[in-house]
């Protein structure tokens, strides 16, 4: 009987040890379905910002291209002089349904200023929540240097 208890104890100890050596998971939080588990399988996925335009009608337009699985979305963050702006819709996931994408955020609404400050450096960052460190891009712009609409 003692021998069985020892075997059970060691079996339990080994299973706990081996269970702790496996890959850790984040329980799939914010992970789209049918995604690769290994970074080398992400090789074909990408997202690129091709341009940002601050329009006189109060819209910030940003556009680019993506190679992502079907029916995915991307997150964005806008920073001013390396500090995230608090009015940007950081929790909004913009849907991407094809290779080319184009989104806009309105100025003068939801706490956003009516115009962007000039003389400062803005950075738009975009990422895919399926692999935010591997599938991301950023774009620097200064509203004072953009061509004005006439």
pLDDT tens string 6-17: 443 444 333 433
Nearest C-alpha neighbor of 93 from the set 109, 114, 72: 72
Is the pLDDT at 5 greater than 90? The verdict is: no
Domains assigned to the chain: 44-143 (2.60.40.10)
The answer, as to whether pTM is greater than 0.95, is: no
**Which phi and psi (to 5°) does residue 27 adopt?**
60, 25
Is the pLDDT at 49 greater than 60? The verdict is: yes
126, 127, 128, 134: CA torsion to nearest 10: 140
The tokens for 75 are 């997150």
Is the pLDDT at 30 greater than 50? The verdict is: no
């Amino acid at each position: 009987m003692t021998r069985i208890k020892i075997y059970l104890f060691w079996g339990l100890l080994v299973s706990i040890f081996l269970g702790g050596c496996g890959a850790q998971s984040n329980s799939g939080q914010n992970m789209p379905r049918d995604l690769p588990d290994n970074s080398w399988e992400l090789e074909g996925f990408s997202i690129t910002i091709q341009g940002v335009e601050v329009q006189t009608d109060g819209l910030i337009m940003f556009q680019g291209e993506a190679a992502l699985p079907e029916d995915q979305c991307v997150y964005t963050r806008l920073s001013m002089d390396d500090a995230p702006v608090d009015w940007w819709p950081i929790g909004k996931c913009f849907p991407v349904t094809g290779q080319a994408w184009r989104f806009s955020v309105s100025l003068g609404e939801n706490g956003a200023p009516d115009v962007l400050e000039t003389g400062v450096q803005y950075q738009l960052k975009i990422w895919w929540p399926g692999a935010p460190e591997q599938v991301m891009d950023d774009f620097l712009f200064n509203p004072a240097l953009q061509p004005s609409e006439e």
